[in-house]
Amino acid sequence: MGPESDSAFPKRVYLRRFLLEDAESLLDLRVRNRRFAKPFEPHRADAYYTLEGQKEVIETSMRHWDAGTGFAFGVFLRTDDVQSNGLLVGHVNLSNVVRAAWESCTLGYFIDEGHNGRGVATESVGRAVHFAFDEAALHRVQAAVMPRNGASIRVLEKAGFRREGLSARYLKIDGDWEDHLLYAVTREEWGDSA
């Protein structure tokens, strides 16, 4: 089983863990979306936008996966069009996995600007949460979103997340400490909405 196994999801995309051979596609995705992503992400050094930089991102994600501390998925198109079938269009990360009494992780995601507005993020988040509960046996998935990021708020609401409140100066985004709305879903709620 994996994030593919839930037949309740639409089938626009599939998720799989990153491999080193994805580095060029990931670089292409990142370079094309550099300006689009900037207002929503931490400051990135120029080295990030190089093949070496993206290999490092993937190697780090592989180490986290093997240690069970994070699960980073590429989002790949699933289409009859042979040109674009399997195209990397984004990523979804389950990070900061903590066990013991917390059994929780944080969720992050990014979808290619050219593929926005088609439900790709919502499906990808749903598949990743399914993995978090059914494969990684976690109890809670948390996401943080800036109040001005209306599209991302909508994604979380469509995916069944519950708003918990506002956390002041929560993350440093594009150089500034930004307030974030915290959203979460627990296994009990996910079971209810299935």
Ligand X SMILES: CC(C)(COP(=O)(O)OP(=O)(O)OC[C@H]1O[C@@H](n2cnc3c(N)ncnc32)[C@H](O)[C@@H]1OP(=O)(O)O)[C@@H](O)C(=O)NCCC(=O)NCCS
Q: Considering the complex, what minimum distance in angstroms separates the CB of residue 160 from ligand X?
A: 13
184: Cβ contacts below 8 Å, ≥ 6 apart: 140, 141, 142, 143, 161, 162, 164
13-17 and 140-145 beta bridge pairing: unpaired
Contact 4, 14 (CB under 8 A): yes
Of 22 and 178, the one with the shorter C-beta distance to ligand X is 178
Measured from the CB atom, the residue of 154 and 163 that comes closer to ligand X is 154
Is 93 a binding residue for ligand X by CB under 6 A? The answer is no
Contacting range for ligand X; rule: CB under 6 A; set: 9-17, 68-76, 133-141, 150-158: 150-158
Distances (CA, A) of 131 to 35, 93, 190: 31, 11, 12
* Binds ligand X by CB under 6 A, chosen from 50, 95, 142, 149: 149
Shortest distance, CB of residue 117 to ligand X, whole angstroms? Answer: 5
Q: x/- site string to ligand X, residues 154 to 193, per CB under 6 A?
A: xx--------------------------------------
Residue 29 touching ligand X (CB under 6 A): no
Closest distance between ligand X and the C-beta of residue 111, in Å?
A: 4
Using the rule CB under 6 A, is 40 a contact of ligand X? Answer: yes
Collapsing DSSP to helix, strand or coil, 30 comes out as helix
Nearer to ligand X, 49 or 52 (CB): 49
Instruction: Select 136 or 146, whichever has its Cβ closest to ligand X.
Output: 146
Fill in the DSSP letter of residue 67.
H
For ligand X, the binding residues in 109-148 under the rule CB under 6 A are 109-111, 116-122, 145
The stretches of 100-186 forming alpha helices (DSSP H) are 120-134, 150-158
Give the CA dihedral 140, 106, 171, 145, nearest 10 degrees: -70
CB–CB of 141/107 below 8 Å?
A: yes
List residues binding ligand X (CB under 6 A): 37, 40, 109-111, 116-122, 145, 149-152, 154-155
